[in-house]
Structure 1
């Protein structure tokens, strides 16, 4: 067992990483239940994990009810948020109760936001079932839904009380979802840890193939890195946490163009976005061209998109930049970009001209 703490004063919480922890979840959840019924929110794809958890809780005399939602990014919507809140209210959820978010990033984001607003804030627990959620979205308290204007534009910072990460749950994850989650693993090396990027080049293929040692090491490293960054800048006010958005400004535009559909998974968009951020940095003379080529080559080797064509995006640069204009990070008409001076040397640039970005994207599409 590895336990990592997100240090936020009286709102600090533990992240427990242990193979098989789902089958021992009652040890962690029974004290939070306080003798009341726990609501478990999941989706159709991982309903079986929810049934396992219910059985584990029942054996410990902990009552639970399961709410099953449709899978996919489109579940992060006003419609599903309203339905979930109504269902939780029907169950009599109180402000001191804990709701269990059992699923990937979509479930974690939606449940976290519902708990942020339900009765002006109730508690929740993250039990992430995808690699992407285990290494990124389950940690840090960012919750949100999507709108027609863009991704994650309606949301709140709302920290969980506990995160339980069971790497063994990834044994049943489709290969495409594992690769998509890997984009959020390698991101940590690209941000500020070139030695970890070296590790990814050496062990990433084994991780994708399901090697337990590589998988466990990557999860623990990524979670520790994110916990450190969140503790330093919980609400993304001093620029530290913004580094975690590497690849996301480009990536969210690609997702919007793909209609937030299964045609392009979030992690796939982030991978393409990271490659584009490095390519743009290289074209502007900021990063060595060799580093941009190395990043793209690694993503291709893993089976992730390394640009627009590989992501299946044929839109013009102007169209993609229009998507970016709806980014929640826009301030006074300026959109900050995560660029890089090299692998492990990411920085926030608030001077990027969007017309320059559009022209760059047009060249990338050729």
Structure 2
């Protein structure tokens, strides 16, 4: 931080201020956090969780665990046994955590538990165990409590493991708008154990695979190939080991590549000072789609509807050829993901883009896939293009044989 005496001619009163009465503050904050992929997190012999929750190395202490109610029913006893085995006094704050209740009321509920537990300023990070909604809620609560307290994330859903719990953002919905309120507050450590996925509903596996597909389409063609070859089976087997090492390795590699790709994009632009972001692919129209379709569509499913629509926009601009578009839609179908939804009216899609323009400081900055594994940003999509692409994806989604007839349909 520096303090400087500088002239300030453009004062509120239009007169130059005397020297030595104006100070210019500059400060920088180094941010560092870990994302760790490991197995057997709740095995009492595995120290990773206990070490993360005791940053000063002080050994057994106290632990507030904020946990999703469904996750608590499945894993609460094991989590309690883990901390008991290590002599850690612990208390659970069990909350309902899904998109329909992702609000400041839920944040205040968590803050009340933190206050009752007596969470200190730095020594006892709050432990967040659950999906992306839960980790977002705890992240926002801890960013506000005493103007920033540390927390640890243990995501239990695939979308949390590869997306929601590896970045810096927190957020809640407000007045029907997705994540309208939020902060940047990364956890000190995110611990990712794919074993949690064994009890996850297949719909939530597909939900996470949509965010993985996002990375594959605009950044990593090899990841797309893995999804094309193994995607349907990975849903069925919940990303767990199959009948052979090769089959088991596919799920682990898909998760690893997805996390790697996401972190590569986030690191140089963690605070989003640059609004031209590859990871916004699938997130230009989906916020409005998701909130309109609640509770029918999960976040990743709305993202996939957006990606399918954006792929058709790209196809009609010549950024994708017939084979590219066919492969993309086929993988979405193999993963059991939607490519269209009835809430997607022409007016809604136009309004969604208008909201995105506001979010991106007056520009579209719309990432569209260019071949598979690359992307181009566009800033000039018209209402006529939106309407034509929507009619096209609706036709394709409603007819299994329509894709084969697409050759030559690009234009207008």
TM-score, scaled to structure 1: 0.89
Q: CA deviation at 1:324?
A: 4.0
Aligned residues: 352
Counterpart for residue 344 of structure 1 = 373
* 2:283 equivalent to 1:248: yes
Secondary structure at 1:334 match in 2: coil
Mapped partners of 2:114, 2:54: distance in 1: 20
* 2:61 equivalent to 1:61: no
Q: 1:19 aligns with which of 26, 39, 55?
A: 39
Q: Please list every run of 5 or more consecutive structure 1 residues that lacks an aligned counterpart in the other structure.
A: 1-7
Structure with larger RCO (C-alpha < 8 A, sep 6+): 1
Larger Rg: 2
Counterpart for residue 3 of structure 1 = none
By percentage of residues, which structure has more strand?
A: 1
Mapped partners of 1:37, 1:325: distance in 2: 48
Bigger CA drift: 154-163 or 218-227?
A: 218-227
Q: 1:43 aligns with which of 48, 65, 68?
A: 68
Q: 1:350 to 1:235 in 2, by over 3 A?
A: farther
Counterpart for residue 91 of structure 1 = 117
TM-score, scaled to structure 2: 0.79
Counterpart for residue 193 of structure 2 = 166
Mapped partners of 1:286, 1:191: distance in 2: 12
Deviant stretches of 4+, over 6 Å: none
By percentage of residues, which structure has more helix?
A: 1
Bigger CA drift: 348-357 or 83-92?
A: 348-357
Q: Following superposition of structure 1 onto structure 2, how do residues 1-366 of structure 1 map, counting pairs within 5 Å?
A: 10-23=30-43, 24=46, 25-32=48-55, 34=58, 36-47=61-72, 48-96=74-122, 97-210=124-237, 211-212=240-241, 213=248, 214-238=250-274, 242-259=277-294, 261=295, 263-306=296-339, 308=340, 312-327=341-356, 330-354=359-383, 356-365=385-394
Bigger CA drift: 286-295 or 105-114?
A: 286-295
Q: CA deviation at 1:9?
A: 8.8
Contact 1:256 1:323 in 2 (8 A): no
Bigger CA drift: 195-204 or 208-217?
A: 208-217
Q: Please list every run of 5 or more consecutive structure 2 residues that lacks an aligned counterpart in the other structure.
A: 1-27, 242-247, 396-412
Mapped partners of 1:27, 1:93: distance in 2: 17
Deviations 1:284-320 (A, max 9, x none): 33322331221111110121112x2xxx324421123
What RMSD over aligned residues (CA atoms) do the two structures have, in Å? 2.3
Mapped partners of 1:271, 1:216: distance in 2: 22
